[in-house]
């Protein structure tokens, strides 16, 4: 789902627009951003649940946003795309360390509950 919004719009307005386009109830959805902090190889998920504007939250044009839906028993299913990206980043980091040290290690595996993703097409 592509969403076009002003940088001055709030995260709550973004969530409402995304939920409307996806046919979800606001209270049964959470939005997550994904980024690797400067100087870090490990990606970090950021829950987008505040009154910040898109600009204040650091969202950029064409940035992917993950939509997590509340599952059975009102449990949040997690954010598998973040987990998968983090897993791959950890594997790459460990592989590079192993090559430097000349050792080998096992792989880290992750699980993937279902979530959707959306993208900010452009910010005005």
Residue of 27 and 102 predicted with greater confidence: 27
Whether 2 has a pLDDT exceeding 60, the answer reads: yes
Burial 21-54 (b: 16+ CB within 10 A, else e): eeebeeeebbbbbbeeeeeeeebebeebeeeebb
How many structural domains compose the chain? 1
pLDDT band at 14 (very low <50, low <70, confident <90, very high): very high
Query: How confident is the model over 42-99, as pLDDT tens digits?
Result: 667 788 888 899 999 888 888 888 888 888 788 777 665 556 666 676 778 778 878 8
Instruction: State residue 44's pLDDT score.
Output: 74
**Domain at 12, CATH number:** 3.10.20.90
Instruction: State residue 86's pLDDT score.
Output: 62
Most confident among 28-42, 45-59, 95-109, 110-124 (mean pLDDT) = 45-59
Q: Rounded CA gap, 38 and 36, in Å?
A: 6
> What Cα–Cα distance (Å) separates residue 6 from each residue in 13, 33, 60, 124?
10, 17, 11, 5
This prediction has a pTM of 0.61
Structural domain of 73: 2-123
Closest CA to 2 of 68, 50, 85, 61: 61
As a dihedral over the C-alpha atoms of residue 21, residue 26, residue 9, residue 56, rounded to 10 degrees, the angle is -120
**What number of CA atoms fall less than 13 Å from residue 80's CA on the CB side?**
11
């Amino acid at each position: 789902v592509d969403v076009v919004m002003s940088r001055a719009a709030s995260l709550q307005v973004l969530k409402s627009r995304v939920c409307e386009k996806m046919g979800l109830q606001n209270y049964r959805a959470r939005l997550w951003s994904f980024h690797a902090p400067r100087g870090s190889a490990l990606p970090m998920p950021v829950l987008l649940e505040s009154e910040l504007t898109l600009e204040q939250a650091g969202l950029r044009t064409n940035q992917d946003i993950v939509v997590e839906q509340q599952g059975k028993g009102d449990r949040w299913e997690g954010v598998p795309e973040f987990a998968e990206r983090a897993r791959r980043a950890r594997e790459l980091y460990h592989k590079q360390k192993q090559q430097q040290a000349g050792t080998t290690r096992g792989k880290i595996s992750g699980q993937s509950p279902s979530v959707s993703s959306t993208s900010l097409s452009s910010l005005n």
